[in-house]
């Protein structure tokens, strides 16, 4: 599959991407995961990105395009890719369009995961993430078997630094201002698949039907 997953923070992009990778071996490419790994490592990229992320603001487009320009060339993308958290701005979407045209790669759809704002807020404040493998948990609906320990890799399960109430509210504002316009962009491109994302299983079904896998 070659898809973009669009949707507010907490809409379930990461969860859906992980479910889809299991179907046909496509890779999940999450710019958020790449950036968090860079911050943890303390690399040049991480140093540049950290303050933006903590505040819930977007990392500059040039940095993101440098990352993605390289990432999409890697071998594992040949099996397909699920873009999770990218593109996030109109300039990123335009740069991606150019990049894919250059590489001769065609997208199958930009999937818009629609979720009511109350659900988003509830999900984000109760979400926990494994520091090591990125597995996603929820303290209410899907806690790890041992509190604070990842079922999959034994890593530490934590609340992300940008999941304080203040940063969450900032991320939602940034989403509404800068990322929501991508829905119109992909509608014009004839690529939009709009889905009700209250259930991740239903989203996966709708995508399978749409792309025929």
Residues designated catalytic: 13, 88, 127, 160, 171
DSSP one-letter string for 89-125:
SHHHHHHHHHHHHHHT----EEEEEE--HHHHHHHHH
Neighbours of 123 (CB within 10 A): 20
Q: Could you give the count of Cα atoms lying within 13 Å of 129 in the half-sphere of its Cβ?
A: 20
**Residue 171 within binding range of ligand ADP, rule CB under 6 A:** yes
Among the listed residues 12, 162, 182, 195, the single contact to ligand ADP using CB under 6 A: 162
108: CB partners within 8 A, 6+ apart: 1, 2, 3, 191, 210, 211
Give the whole-angstrom CA distance, residue 7 versus residue 70.
24
The half-sphere exposure of 164 on its side-chain side, counting CA atoms within 13 A, is 8
| DSSP 8-state symbol, 137 | E
134 touches ligand ADP by CB under 6 A: no
Token digits of residue 165: 């109430």
Q: Judged by CB under 6 A, which of 4, 12, 56, 203 binds ligand ADP?
A: 56
Burial class (CB in 10 A: 0-12, 13-18, 19+), 177: exposed
The stretch near Zn ion (CB under 5 A) out of 43-51, 68-76, 110-118, 122-130 is 122-130
Cα distance between residue 4 and residue 12, in whole Å: 13
Query: Whose structure tokens read 């979407």?
Result: 93
CA 45 to chain centre: 18
Q: Which stretch binds ligand ADP (CB under 6 A): 15-23, 31-39, 104-112, 193-201?
A: 31-39
- Cβ proximity to ligand ADP: between 52 and 185 the closer is 52
Give the x-and-dash track for 36-55 against ligand ADP (CB under 6 A). Answer: ----------------xx--
155 binding Zn ion? (CB under 5 A): yes
- Note whether 81 binds ligand ADP by CB under 6 A: no
Partner whose footprint covers residue 101, from Zn ion, ligand ADP, none (CB < 5 to 8 Å by kind)? none
Q: Does 32 bind Zn ion (CB under 5 A)?
A: no
Residue 14 CB, nearest distance to ligand ADP (Å)? Answer: 7
The residue number with the shortest CB distance to ligand ADP is 32
Binding footprint of Zn ion on the chain (CB under 5 A) = 130, 132-133, 135, 150, 152-153, 155
Binding footprint of ligand ADP on the chain (CB under 6 A) = 9, 31-32, 35, 52-53, 56-59, 64, 85-86, 88, 92, 162, 171
């Amino acid at each position: 599959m070659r898809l973009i997953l669009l949707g507010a923070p907490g809409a379930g992009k990461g969860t859906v991407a992980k479910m889809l990778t299991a179907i046909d071996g496509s890779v999940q490419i999450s710019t958020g995961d790449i950036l968090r790994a860079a911050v943890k490592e303390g690399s040049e990229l991480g140093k540049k990105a950290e303050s933006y992320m903590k505040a819930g603001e977007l990392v500059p487009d040039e940095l993101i395009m440098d990352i993605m320009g390289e990432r999409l060339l890697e071998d594992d993308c040949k099996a397909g890719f699920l873009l999770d958290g990218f593109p996030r701005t109109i300039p990123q979407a335009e740069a991606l369009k150019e990049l894919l045209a250059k590489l001769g790669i065609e997208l199958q759809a930009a999937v818009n995961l629609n979720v009511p704002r109350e659900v988003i807020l509830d999900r984000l404040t109760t979400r926990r993430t494994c520091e090591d493998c990125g597995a996603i948990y929820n303290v209410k609906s899907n806690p790890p078997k041992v509190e604070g320990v990842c079922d999959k890799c034994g890593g530490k399960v934590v609340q992300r630094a940008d999941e304080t109430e203040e940063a969450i509210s900032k991320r939602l504002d940034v989403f509404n201002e800068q990322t929501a316009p991508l829905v119109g962009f992909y509608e014009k491109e004839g690529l939009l698949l709009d889905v009700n994302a209250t259930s991740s299983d239903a989203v996966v079904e709708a995508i399978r039907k749409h792309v025929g896998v």
